[in-house]
Chains A and B, each alone.
Chain A
Amino acid sequence: MAYLELDRVSKAFGPHMAVEDFSLSVRQGEFISFLGPSGCGKTTTLQMIAGFIDPTKGGIRLEGQNLAAVHPSRRGLGIVFQSYALFPHMTAAENVSFGLEMRGVAKAERIERVSAALAMVGLTGYEDRYPKRMSGGQQQRVALARALVIRPSVLLLDEPLSNLDAKRREEMQIELRQIQRTVGTTTILVTHDQTEAMSLSDRIVVMSKGRIEQIGTPEDIYERPATAFVAQFLGKTNEFAAIVHGPETPARIVAGGWQATAPAGLSGPVTVSVRPERIGFSDEGLAARIVSRSFQGDHWLFSCDTECGNAFVIRLNDGGPQPQETEAVRLTWRPDDMSVRARGGVA
């Protein structure tokens, strides 16, 4: 049974639909990311789960109980805010202790749980520091400890790493994942950073303009994007216009001088998308000419002109010879590496 369930949740701000028909069921212990550009409704959805915003339509259930009837202060969710929202007039320990006080936890147990929570995020010895005297990363850890110490049914993270520099962000990602695995708290992360979503989550919900574009595992979403938006938003991708010629079986997919066996159930104009790192240089395939190449250390990035438009190719720097600029090459990829979608609304 679903642990946390969102059933056709919608939120309208005046005539503007911030979230539309959002349905998702989350298993206990799962790590879910809401991924999308700013203004896609991911934070609004999170705030509806937290109870700071009431949905216009639809229901949210936690362990079968309708959350709409539960006041935000009684939902028992742990939330880490983008700004951390620490209490500046309280020390780190007092910040973490606050939620336990509100639950009437006895003092002895409170002290024990607070120091355990601070130890978990690696802040032992910082109990008496005020937030203003801590670095961004340390404040972030206090916020995480404060949210986790109340043993929340669901942990909600609202862009928690976006205020950290790149190196600290990577460290925190690894740490966040480890802590979540150990504690086993069901977690929802809101982020616009695809790498963060992919490296942390069990499943990703890709959102755009208030709607769900795709729900799936990181591999799923990266390898088999359901929509053009998902393909564009997660990593780089090359798109070629092609045509599936029927009705002979098996149908052929044709783009310029290149052709392959078409996947079943498609006909007419289609879009073929292939990730740059899946394209290889070969003696046969799509004809292309190298426009430019740039060395990136562990890989080479090639920009190529093909019969079907521009294409990017990433090749690992394995020490072997690489094609030169203006050199004519042929691009090839395995059938599994391409995803084919109908184009222009034709199903």
Chain B
Amino acid sequence: MSTAAAPAIVSHAEPANRVPYALVLPAAMVFVGAVVIPLVMTIVLSFNNWSQYRGIEPVFILKNWIEVFSDPYYAEMFWRTFRFAALATVITAVFGAPEAYILNRMSPRWRGLFLLLILGPLLISVVARTLGWALLFGGNNGLVNKLLMSAGILTSPIRFMFTETGVVVALAHVMMPFMVLSVWAALQRIDPQIEHAAMSLGAGPVTILRRIILPQIMPGVLSGGIIVFSLAASAFATPAIIGGRRLKVASTLAYDEFLNTLNWPLGAVVAVLLLIALVLIVVGCNALVERRYAEVFR
């Protein structure tokens, strides 16, 4: 029996190996159709020519790339984009990590309620959440400004709209749930007895946080940071509403080039550059995190 079956297995081996490829085919087709092809088209577009009167010409020139790299306006805009994203990331880490830790220590009943409060905003559109800030701080008519001024605490309204501070604060607020969730996931993996173990060895509460808990949630903070950073750097609605036309970031600039100026090739350069920069930063950080924590959290 076994000798007879052996050749049969060999002849079936090849078709059997195709099954996995056949199974990933549908997903691969969606990926190629919805991501790869538009991406390649955007890259090709970035090398096309554009002029006021003739529109887009399908030629291969470096004009748009040279413009973006030579005009300091674009350098400033990209620097602003990544500065906003970095600041928002730091703020979410500083507030989100303790928030997750407190959440993790709550009794199950309260934890459920507060988790809902933290995650609930994810159900609401980013536009609505950002407009909330505009309603609170928008010029003299903003609710908070109105209150503070009528109470005599302020004489002039807090400047929030169209300021860097405003964009960073709003971005941090919108991205906070991602950081809290990421840190919370890391906290869940911690042995519940570990704080007792550290305590029995003579560690006080501050030492336990600093030497035992923080090192163990660092991977969660860092991966949350990567999520928040990439989302904040490519965010559109929040910088568009709070930052307006004055504080342009990469995504709002690309939007304007595509839909207002109709200079698609230039917009494509900005979009491609944003993508390349983000991929480099995220992959680099991820590699760093993985190397740093490989030994510990395998």
Residue ranges of A at the interface with B (Cβ–Cβ < 8 Å): 50, 52, 72-79, 81-83, 85-89, 98-99, 102-103, 130, 132-133, 146-147, 150
| Residues on the B chain within 8 Å of A72, using CB | 196, 199-200
Return the contact of A73 from the options B199, B296, B297 (Cβ within 8 A).
B199
Q: In the bound complex, what is the Cα–Cα distance between A90 and B204 (angstroms)?
A: 18
Q: Please report which residues of chain B, range 249-298, place their CB below 8 angstroms from some CB of chain A when the two chains form the complex.
A: 295-298
| Residues on the B chain within 8 Å of A146, using CB | 201
Cross-chain contact A78 with B203 (CB below 8 angstroms) = no
Q: Which residue of A lies closest to B295 (CB)?
A: A130
- Given known A-B contacts A73-B203, A102-B203, A130-B295, A87 and B196 have beta carbons under 8 A apart: no
Contact flags B199-230 to A (C-beta < 8 A → 1, else 0):
11111100100011001100000000000000
Cross-chain contact A81 with B215 (CB below 8 angstroms) = no
| Residues on the B chain within 8 Å of A88, using CB | 216, 296-297
- How many chain B residues touch A (CB < 8 A): the figure is 21
Q: B197 in the interface, Cβ–Cβ < 8 Å? A: yes
Cross-chain contact A132 with B199 (CB below 8 angstroms) = no
Top 7 A-B pairs, shortest CB-CB distance = A102-B202, A99-B201, A85-B197, A85-B193, A89-B215, A79-B200, A81-B193
Q: B40 in the interface, Cβ–Cβ < 8 Å? A: no
- In the complex, how many angstroms separate the beta carbon of A61 from the nearest chain B beta carbon? 19
Q: Which residue of B lies closest to A87 (CB)?
A: B212
Q: In the bound complex, what is the Cα–Cα distance between A130 and B296 (angstroms)?
A: 6
Cross-chain contact A77 with B194 (CB below 8 angstroms) = no
Return the contact of A103 from the options B197, B200, B202 (Cβ within 8 A).
B202
Q: Which residue of A lies closest to B190 (CB)?
A: A88
Q: B122 in the interface, Cβ–Cβ < 8 Å? A: no
Q: In the bound complex, what is the Cα–Cα distance between A88 and B198 (angstroms)?
A: 12
How many inter-chain residue pairs (CB < 8 Å) link A and B?
66
| Residues on the B chain within 8 Å of A98, using CB | 198, 201, 203, 211
Q: In the bound complex, what is the Cα–Cα distance between A77 and B197 (angstroms)?
A: 10
| Residues on the B chain within 8 Å of A78, using CB | 200
| Residues on the A chain within 8 Å of B194, using CB | 85, 87
Q: In the bound complex, what is the Cα–Cα distance between A84 and B274 (angstroms)?
A: 47
Q: In the bound complex, what is the Cα–Cα distance between A146 and B216 (angstroms)?
A: 19
Q: In the bound complex, what is the Cα–Cα distance between A59 and B204 (angstroms)?
A: 24
| Residues on the B chain within 8 Å of A99, using CB | 201-202
Q: B191 in the interface, Cβ–Cβ < 8 Å? A: yes
What are some 9 contacts across the A-B interface (CB < 8 A)? A81-B197, A82-B193, A85-B194, A87-B198, A98-B203, A99-B202, A130-B296, A133-B295, A150-B202
| Residues on the A chain within 8 Å of B198, using CB | 87, 98
Q: In the bound complex, what is the Cα–Cα distance between A86 and B298 (angstroms)?
A: 15
- In the complex, how many angstroms separate the beta carbon of A135 from the nearest chain B beta carbon? 14
Q: In the bound complex, what is the Cα–Cα distance between A261 and B197 (angstroms)?
A: 55
Given contacts A102-B202, A102-B207, 20 further A-B contacts (CB under 8 A): A72-B196, A72-B200, A73-B204, A74-B202, A77-B200, A78-B200, A83-B193, A85-B191, A85-B193, A88-B297, A89-B296, A98-B201, A102-B201, A102-B203, A130-B295, A132-B295, A132-B297, A133-B295, A150-B201, A150-B202
Q: Which residue of A lies closest to B216 (CB)?
A: A89
